[in-house]
Structure formats: C-alpha cells, structure tokens
Chain A
C-alpha cells in the first residue's frame, strides 16, 4: 500500500514538472519594460514600448527617463532630456515590424543604445 502511494506521488511530481513549457515562444518579449541600460554616470530607462510589442495603432509613444541634459536620438528625432528627467516622443509606425532605435549620450561621452521592435498589426 505504501509503495503504491509513493509510486503515485513520484509519477504525479513528474507529470506536474512536465506541465512547465520548455519551448520558448519565438515572439516572446526579450526585454520587458522598464528596460534600463547604463554606462558610467549615464542611465536610461525605457518605460514604453516593450520590445516585441504588438500594437494596433499607427503610432506609439516612446516614454522613458534619463538624467537631465541627456542627448537622445530616437529614429530621426533628436531631443534633450528636461530637468524632470522624463522624455516622451510619438513615433509613427508602418504596418509590419518597425525598428525603433534610441541612442543616448551625456556630457562626458557616455553612451547607451536600445533597438526596440514593435509590430503594427492594425
């Protein structure tokens, strides 16, 4: 009787362990937000969008935080972070996979970058 219960528990444990998916979804988010990168005294935190995000809208708001006076280029736009350390910029999307490229640098020459892909699926 004890052997049967023990065997049952072992098999039950194995079946529960098998329930954990082992194969990664190819479209899974690689960098969940907030996504933060740092170099020297420079740090940049991207709050949205998330990498691999799928949206239905034709534009997305790139939002994040960085020290004041950080220079940012977001695709073809250039901006300087204000004293409140927050930045926000709308980016137009085309249908399909879009690449949003963010480069940030500071006075001392520290630099970080982000390459975010957003899929527009209206």
Chain B
C-alpha cells in the first residue's frame, strides 16, 4: 500500500513538473511573431486596407492629435534577414531560422541610412538585415509601421593621413598610411575640429577626415576634418 502511494505521488509530481517545463520553454514573443496567415498576403493586405480605411475615417481626429497613425494593436519588434519583398509584404528570417511575414501598407515608413528619407520599398534588397516595428492586429497579422535597413558596414569612413595639398574651401588631399592619396571636396558644411587648431590646417599636418563611404567612385565630400596635435617625444 505504502509503495503504491509513493508511485502515485511520483507520477503526479512528474506530470506537474513536465507541464510547467513545457510552459516555461515556449517562447512567447516568437509565437506572436510566427503566426502564419491563413490567406495569401495579397488578399490579407487588401482586406486590411479596407479595414484601415474604415478605421481611419473614425479615428482621423485622434490621429491628428497624437501624431501616431497606427495606435491600435500589440507592438512587435522584429530583427532579421530580409528574405523576400513585394509591394504588399515582406518575409524576414529570424535568428532561429523561422520566417515571419509582415504586411506593408502605404503608411509603412522605409528607412535606409544611405538614402535617408528618399528610401522606398523598391530599395529593399533581399539579404540585408532589417529591423521592423510592427503591430499585431486582432487577426494576428503583423502590419509594418517602419522598416529600417541595418547596414553591415558603416556609412562613413575615417581616413587618417598627412595633408599633401590643402585648398581652403575647396579640397584637401592626404597621403594615408597605406601610401595612397585621397582627395576630398570641402564645402561650407565641412567641420574643422578642434576649433582651436583650425588655423593650423596646412600641408604636413596629420588629420583624420570623416567622409561618407564612397560607392560611386567620385570625389567624396569631407564631413569633418580633425587636426591632430604634433606628437612630441620626451627628451
């Protein structure tokens, strides 16, 4: 009798532990993001567009007041690799290799660091890393508020070298550590730092030039020129 009671207790304990472990192991956020739509993306987008139009008509005043055009729904943030994109939706591969579908609307903002505010859906290329701020609607569909391309490289470069030619207000040429010469255009927006050393900008001085990463092959414009102090060695 005693032995049987112990077996029952053990089995009961195991059931409780196993149930709890499964609940703990399920990733809540991923479940939300992975909801697979039952209809085709195009059909869902059309359906949502109709609903949104109706919602907007009702909420126009509120939206103007708070400046937040898509205030409904649970916010979901997604980061991953863009797998595919069309006018209505995009697919993103997450770090666990699962694929999430996010709907695009006319209000979805596209941000690409190299293009600034001129970016459009057509500029999204599969293979890039993206961060998406979305909202989950009542049907479990994810609607993108903004899509941001996260660059793999920085959009700016620092070039360090000795000034070989300086034409004030026009251009500056340096010889970098790699032995190559680099020329940068100077505009009125080019910052020369520190201000206390600005008068000392001349040939022979070591500088760091900050410029946009050149992808066109043309002469890049210096965004900033930092003049380094002359290194002196202790006697």
Contacts and interface: CB of A to CB of B under 8 A. Distances in A.
A16 to B, nearest CB: 7
Which DSSP category, helix, strand, loop or mixed, fits chain A's interface? Answer: mixed
B113 to A, nearest CB: 6
Given A23-B96, A24-B95, A117 B150 contact: yes
A18 B30 contact: no
User: Quick one: which of B3, B193, B210 has the most chain A CB within 10 A?
Assistant: B210
Interface residues on B, range: 35 or more
A108 B94 CA distance: 39
B65 interface: no
Interface string B188-211: 000101100000000000101010
A21 B224 contact: no
Interface in A33-57: 52, 54
A113 B210 CA distance: 13
Given A101-B155, A103-B158, A117 B29 contact: no
B85 interface: no
Interface residues of A, number: 49
Given A16-B21, A76-B223, A1 B3 contact: yes
Interface of B: 3, 6-7, 10, 13-14, 17-18, 20-22, 24-27, 29-30, 33, 68, 75, 77-80, 94-96, 100, 109, 111, 113, 131-133, 145-148, 150-152, 154-158, 160, 176-177, 191, 193-194, 206, 208, 210, 223-224, 226, 228-229, 231
